[in-house]
């Protein structure tokens, strides 16, 4: 069992508050995605979750034990940031030997299997890797660690589309075989949404919403139709976003559409469809900005 509990986390650096009163329970055997704009400060949050940085206030607990400066449990959490630096001339096979000493459940066979799949020579020196290969290496280490809590920051973000697709599928299969908690900050949520259980929306260090994937599908929908028709049908609905293209209007509705509403919209040829997760984020942040919420 591995439960990571965050209680009222705040973090300041150089007089600027980067994380504000963050509270959340990350449960075992779940995959969490953290998404936000470039100023979401998700990296700062991840550094708090892995105890790399000490919070200015608040606490992080792993299975009921205070995490900060606790050597007994820190090897149960793996976070290999994308800017991790190894000695330039160290070979990948030696990096794997180092990882085996850090993580008790390290799977060396699996690490080599993934290297081989992605065409990376284990005898290569770290300095010889291209950015896409480094991105894959850090992601491979994260999976092979089998750490109870595995934290990843925009994994395989520098890899090409096919490599990302393949890696997400490896992660999905690995989670089914060796379930644990994944906390993943990502800019590519649509690509990996099929493996995510819950999604956290972070805006300038503030947790503004948290949904399960199922809740997003149930509670948000697009309504699309002719502008003059649709505008007369939406009063009273919870609308969080509009997009108008020519004579066609699309609105994002943040409520469940019951059977009566569905029949009503069908009568007027209004299409009902799913909203991409990234669009939900954009609409919610736009609402906060219009209301002047910091």
Residue 213 CA from chain centroid, whole number: 12
Write down the domain spans for the chain. 4-212, 221-273
Give the separation between CA 178 and CA 145, rounded to whole angstroms: 11
Angle (nearest 5°) at CA 90 between 84 and 91? 105
User: Lowest-confidence range among 1-5, 7-11, 132-136, 163-167?
Assistant: 1-5
DSSP state of 274: P
Residue 292 has pLDDT above 70, yes or no: no
Task: Please give the angle made by the CA atoms of 158, 187 and 48, to the nearest 5 degrees.
Answer: 100
pLDDT given at position 64: 86
pLDDT in tens, 40-87: 999 999 999 998 999 999 999 988 888 887 777 778 999 999 899 999
CB 156 within 8 A of CB 191: no
**pTM given for the model:** 0.92
Residue 294 has pLDDT above 60, yes or no: no
Separation in Å, CA 224 to CA 12, 43, 61, 250, 252:
44, 36, 46, 4, 9
Spatial contact of 138 and 184, defined as CB atoms under 8 Å apart: no
Average pLDDT over residues 208-218: 90
Question: What percentage of the chain reaches a pLDDT higher than 90?
Answer: 83
Residues 6+ apart with CB under 8 A from 14: none
pLDDT, tens digit, for every residue of 224-253? 999 999 999 999 999 999 999 999 999 999
Average pLDDT, the chain: 93
**Structure confidence at residue 192 as a pLDDT band (50, 70, 90):** very high
For residue 154, which phi and psi values (nearest 5 degrees)? Answer: 45, 60
According to CATH, the superfamily of the domain at 4-212 is P-loop containing nucleotide triphosphate hydrolases (3.40.50.300)
197, 30 Cβ separation under 8 angstroms: yes
């Amino acid at each position: 069992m591995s439960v990571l509990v965050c209680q009222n986390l705040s973090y300041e650096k150089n007089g600027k508050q980067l994380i504000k009163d963050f509270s959340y329970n990350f449960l075992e055997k779940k995959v969490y995605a953290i998404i936000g704009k470039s100023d979401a400060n998700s990296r700062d949050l991840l550094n708090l979750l892995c105890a790399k940085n000490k919070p200015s206030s608040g606490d992080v607990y792993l299975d009921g034990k205070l995490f900060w400066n606790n050597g007994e449990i820190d090897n149960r959490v793996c976070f290999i940031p994308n800017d991790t630096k190894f000695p330039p001339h160290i070979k990948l096979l030696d990096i794997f030997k180092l990882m085996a000493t850090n993580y008790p459940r390290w799977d060396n066979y699996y690490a080599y299997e993934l290297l081989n799949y992605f065409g990376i020579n284990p005898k290569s020196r770290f300095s010889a890797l291209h950015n896409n290969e480094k991105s894959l290496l850090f992601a491979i280490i994260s999976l092979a660690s089998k750490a109870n809590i595995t934290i990843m920051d925009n994994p395989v973000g520098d890899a090409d589309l096919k490599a990302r697709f393949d890696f997400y599928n490896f992660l999905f299969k690995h989670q089914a075989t060796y379930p644990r908690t994944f906390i993943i900050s990502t800019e590519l949520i649509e690509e990996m949404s099929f493996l995510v259980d819950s999604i956290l929306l972070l805006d300038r260090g503030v947790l503004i919403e948290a949904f399960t994937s199922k809740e997003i599908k149930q509670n948000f929908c697009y309504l699309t139709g002719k502008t003059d028709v649709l505008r007369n049908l939406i009063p009273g609905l919870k609308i969080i976003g509009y997009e108008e293209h020519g004579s066609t209007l699309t609105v994002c509705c943040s409520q469940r559409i019951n059977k009566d509403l569905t029949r009503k919209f069908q009568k007027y040829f209004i299409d009902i469809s799913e909203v991409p997760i990234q669009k939900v984020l954009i609409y919610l942040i736009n609402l906060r900005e219009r209301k002047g919420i910091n």
